[in-house]
Chains A and B, each alone.
Chain A
Amino acid sequence: MTTSMTKSDLLLLLCFAAAVLAGPVLLAPIGAGYPDLLQKFAIFGIFALGFNILFGLTGYLSFGHAAFLGVGSYTAVWTFKLLSMNPIPAILLATLLGGLFAAVIGFVSLRRTGIYFSILTLAFAQMSYNLAYSVLTPVTNGETGLQLAQSDPRVLDIAFGRDYGAVLPSSDLFGISMTGYPGFYFCGVMLILCFFVSMRIFRSPFGMMLRAVKSNQNRLNYTGLNTRPYALAAFVISGMYAGLAGGLLAVTDPLAGAERMQWTASGEVVLMTILGGSGTLLGPVIGAGAIKYFENIFSAFNEGVLVQAYSFLPEGLQHVMVWISSLFVGEGWHLTLGALFMIIVIFLPGGLMEGFNRIRAWITGRFGGGGGSLAPAAAE
């Protein structure tokens, strides 16, 4: 990593960092500027960034990434229980175990490509889910989820003389509680770091090799190059991202449930990446934000809110509009998400990022086009 960053990359990183840190202010007008959702944006942004390193660069479509997220969460909660309520050991161990677990699953699954790889990862994730759900109940506490208890050992905290008294402890970074806005800034800083690492991977020779795996793996193999270590490295890195995301989920809310590992959760990260634009740097973060926004905000609209929103209409029309809209909000938010996903995949196969790029091209095209037509005019 001796090569210096290009100016445009540095600018992108700075803009990204500024946007993340200003999130509470920027997102307040659309009703998303509250800590829990902001934390989710950052955490699932990290998850999707990691998934994108695998899927966006190598083209390997994993349907089992939620397993690493779950492993990260369980690791973090156990770290809280056994070692310390400080989030740093928790996320370090979560990242490490996420990576280790990915190495094991990747070692087996990467023997196949395409749909077979997807099915293998799906099978592993489903196995992990079922293990966490029932077989490993002593470790995972089954469906109820792993929770903290007052009687946990927390050996490091005790060694440093930290006593939480009679209340159930919550995670804190040297006294700064990891709930609310401080929790978001912690996750936000992690997101910026992850974005930076992801950007360096995209621009590195290693990233180029991963793209080569995606474009034509056979040809690479014929040149005598063994591609599997590259694919495995990408798989492990994305597993570490997922482990970190899982760890952060536990940091902001010390509870780990098996449903985090369910195949729907794996599918969700695929949706996030594709929705935002796979293979792009920013896309996955935007996709993650969009899906979490829908899940948390649209699902909360109830009839009362709708009636208010349409109160300017005459009563008959108001009822019709409320009835139609209520299909798409509240418990119907999946329907809205599905429709949005279809529209994007059909019209913008490159995801939301393609949309932004088209808009930018259109704008620069107009300005550039205007300049172009002026120049010959001046020549006449």
Chain B
Amino acid sequence: MKDFKINRRKMLQGTALAGAGIAAPMVLTSRAFAASYTNEPKGGTVTLGFNVPQTGAYADEGADELRAYQLAVEHINGEGDGGMLNTFSSKALKGNGINGKKVVYVTGDTQTKSDAARASAKRMIEKDGAIMITGGSSSGVAIAVQGLCQDAGVIFMAGLTHSNDTTGKDKRANGFRHFFNTEMSGAALGPVLKNAFGSERVAYHLTADYTWGWSQEGSIKKYTEELGWNTSAAVRTPLGAGDFSQYITPVLNSGADVLVLNHYGRDMVNSLTQAVQFGLRDKQVNGKDFAIVVPLYSRLMAQGAGENVKGIFGSTNWHWSLQDEGSKAFVKSFGQKYGFPPSQAAHTTYCQAILYADACQRAETFRPSGVGAALEGFKFDGLGNGPTEYRAEDHQCFKDVLVVKGKENPSSKFDVLEVVEVTPRKQVEYPAELLGGELGPYNDGA
């Protein structure tokens, strides 16, 4: 041990200066003379990495995302019926892969844990040679993987991540998000909640304790308090808690008359089911009917919660019952392959894969800076959300937001949500500076 210490000290003293001297040119050379970029596809194929939760609280969403990715790969390679490629406003993709290379893919399990997700993404980049990573069904994971992709020099196409931070305070140049965020959810939900419940309400928040939960809690508070609502308490619950009864009991005696569930996936299914079982919805508080709001809704969750979702408001990025050409084509194509309609998670990941492929084709390269430039400010239509724009300032898509409600009389087990209002894009738009953060420069890697 003694020898080791002396060596280390000597090394510290001796190499501190030399090291600093060596450092600068090494950084310079590795950047300046590297003509290629990370995982530049050399053969006849290009590898995409699909990193989704296959276990844990968001496993259902993850499974649906993977189905959508597989469908997107088929369509990009010219197999199947082409799905939304036929309705997509950009016609760059010819059904022969991307830039003439056939698309292949690798998959990984994020386990809804940042560490596992990064390990899985690293494997795809280092071992499998993935040129782009996409997926994630949790904002914590998406942010962690986005940071990794920035460091490694590959593009990250975020999947289902709803936190403001993904394209706000933690945004990165190599990261792009098609999904909407809590700021947009709040802006869209506010007026609808006012119409339905009035402006004198007391809200109680139960919040999943991580970046997305905090973000959504903040946004909903901001917009409901603008309406004149009060917030009695906001309680944080651990992700994947399973049993929420200990958190729901205090709601009964809090004097609140609206419960806001900032939960997603199985957490939302469990907390909503338990809230209904505890009789919250049959109660009268402050002379008003007790109400429950689930700001971020999905068909998968509504299906999981069954009867309990009837009449409950929320917002969603996309719903399969939309009647535009793009949505119809996607539902048909997905339904033919898997036998049931796609969820919003499937929709956003499908779109992300198509948008990435299209951007590479238009840029005629896979180089991250080139692909990014092709995505920045890109305006498109025909992917199910109406006219949409990838904003250059924060790499966030702007489009209409759907406010939905649990259907009172569902006609099938998939028909559980009805669209209450399509909030136009300009109502949910906000200046990019509002959420802070810094994109920084693109990283093409070595």
Contact = CB atoms under 8 A, between A and B. Distances in A.
B210 interface: yes
B429 interface: no
Contact of B115 (A31, A37, A161, A259): A259
A161 B20 contact: yes
Given A150-B440, A175-B19, A331-B54, A144 B108 contact: no
Contacts of B54: 330-331
B140 A143 contact: yes
Interface stretch (A14-22, A111-119, A165-173, A210-218): A165-173
Task: Give the top 6 A-B pairs by smallest Cβ distance, nearest first.
Answer: A174-B19, A175-B23, A143-B210, A36-B122, A34-B127, A331-B54
B150 interface: yes
Contact of B151 (A31, A150, A170, A295): A170
Indicate the size class of the contact surface on chain B.
35 or more
A11 interface: no
Interface in B127-182: 127, 139-140, 143-144, 147-148, 150-151, 165, 170
B328 interface: no
Interface string A47-64: 000000000000000000
Contact of A193 (B4, B123, B144, B209): B4
B107 interface: yes
B115 A260 contact: yes
Interface string B11-28: 010011011101110110
A357 interface: no
Contact of B147 (A35, A36, A147): A147
6 contacts: A36-B122, A36-B123, A37-B127, A174-B18, A179-B151, A299-B108
A197 interface: yes
B211 A144 contact: yes
B23 A166 contact: no
A143 B211 contact: yes
B90 interface: no
A142 B106 CA distance: 30
Contacts of B109: 299, 330-331
A160 interface: yes
A88 interface: yes
Chain A contact patch, size range: 35 or more
A10 to B, nearest CB: 16
Contact of B209 (A37, A133, A160): A133
A302 interface: yes
Contacts of B107: 300, 302, 330
A253 B126 CA distance: 14
Interface of B: 1, 4, 8, 12, 15-16, 18-20, 22-24, 26-27, 54-55, 59, 106-109, 113-115, 118-120, 122-123, 126-127, 139-140, 143-144, 147-148, 150-151, 165, 170, 209-211, 236, 238-239, 438, 440-441, 443
Given A143-B211, A174-B19, A259 B27 contact: no
Nearest to A265: B115
Given A1-B1, A145-B144, A168-B147, A255 B19 contact: no
A300 B23 contact: no
Interface of A: 1, 31, 34-37, 40, 88, 133-134, 142-145, 147, 150, 160-162, 166-168, 170, 172-176, 179-180, 193, 197, 253, 255, 257, 259-260, 295-296, 299-300, 302, 330-331
Given A37-B127, A253-B148, A144 B20 contact: no
Contacts of A88: 8, 12
Contacts of B440: 150, 166-168
Q: Give the secondary structure class of B's interface.
A: helix
A257 B113 contact: yes
A250 B354 CA distance: 35
A249 to B, nearest CB: 8
A133 B211 CA distance: 12
Contacts of B19: 173-175
A34 B123 contact: yes
B210 A142 contact: yes
Contacts of A259: 113-115
Nearest to A300: B108
Nearest to A157: B20
Contact of A167 (B15, B140, B170, B443): B443
Contacts of A302: 106-107
Contacts of B148: 253
Contacts, number: 120
Given A88-B8, A257-B115, A296 B123 contact: yes
Contacts of B211: 142-144
A67 B30 CA distance: 38
Contacts of B438: 150
A281 B344 CA distance: 52
A326 to B, nearest CB: 12
A140 B151 CA distance: 21
B151 A257 contact: no
Given A144-B211, A162-B20, A172-B23, A134 B236 contact: yes
A134 B150 CA distance: 27
B23 A162 contact: yes
A296 B23 CA distance: 33
Most A CB atoms within 10 A — which of B113, B118, B441? B113
A132 to B, nearest CB: 12
Contacts of A300: 106-108, 120, 123
B126 A34 contact: yes
Contacts of B126: 34-36, 180
Given A167-B441, A300-B123, 19 more contacts: A34-B127, A35-B122, A36-B119, A133-B209, A143-B239, A144-B140, A144-B211, A147-B144, A147-B147, A150-B440, A162-B20, A168-B151, A174-B15, A175-B24, A179-B151, A255-B114, A255-B144, A260-B115, A302-B107
A305 B109 CA distance: 15
Nearest to B210: A143
A330 B66 CA distance: 13
B26 A175 contact: yes
B445 to A, nearest CB: 11
A42 B210 CA distance: 30
Contacts of A176: 26
A147 B119 CA distance: 16
Contacts of A253: 118, 122, 148
Nearest to B439: A166
Nearest to A260: B115
B24 to A, nearest CB: 8
A173 B150 CA distance: 21
Contacts of A150: 438, 440
B234 to A, nearest CB: 13
Contacts of A170: 151
Contacts of A31: 127
B358 to A, nearest CB: 24
Contacts of B238: 133-134
A17 to B, nearest CB: 15
B444 to A, nearest CB: 12
A76 to B, nearest CB: 14
A93 B65 CA distance: 42
Contacts of A179: 151
